[in-house]
Amino acid sequence: MGFEYIKALHIIFVVTWFAGLFYIVRLFIYQTEAMERPESERAILKPQLDLMASRLWYIITWPSAILTLIFGLWVLSYRMGYLQLGFMHAKLGFVVLLYAYHLGCHFLFKEIQKGRTRWTSTQLRIWNEASTLLLFAIVFLIVLKNTLSMVWGIVGLIGLGVLLMAGIKIYKKYRTK
């Protein structure tokens, strides 16, 4: 298979993986809020949300994470010289953090499926933004292929993080009105 096809498949599975990661945490928020509802509502909401989360997690998110890794390594095999470059070390570091985030989501998934959660919906909203920060870091590094601009990138990520946290606080105030 040609390099461009492999790269296209890698990008497609990155997109579907992130879609799964973004949506699964939204479902965690809904599941957590459903557990706080009266029993009559919880009895309807929880089974449906559990089913949605299970299908998303096992049919879309996990397969996409695995296929992203397979096609990513395949793409890298065509560009072994990139392993000599600092931007690739940084990008791969963020990718490792993304897989750690995915595993963290898996532990949350298992806990919530059992009807237990230690996190509030606000904490889960903050957790959801970690994947956004990782997405920005990875995309900018792979597109710019430059660690010299990494200082500006870090400043931008911090700024983005501050904006995301402000948005969460504003949304929380709006929701409680």
Binding positions for heme are: 10, 91
Q: Hey, what's the torsion of the CAs at 19, 24, 26, 27, to 10 degrees?
A: 140
Q: Are 122 and 82 in contact (CB under 8 A)?
A: no
Annotated binding site: 10, 91
- State phi, psi for 75 to the nearest 5 degrees: -60, -45
Crossing angle for the helix pair 3-35 and 86-113, nearest 10 degrees?
40
Cα angle: 153, vertex 154, 155; to 5 degrees = 90
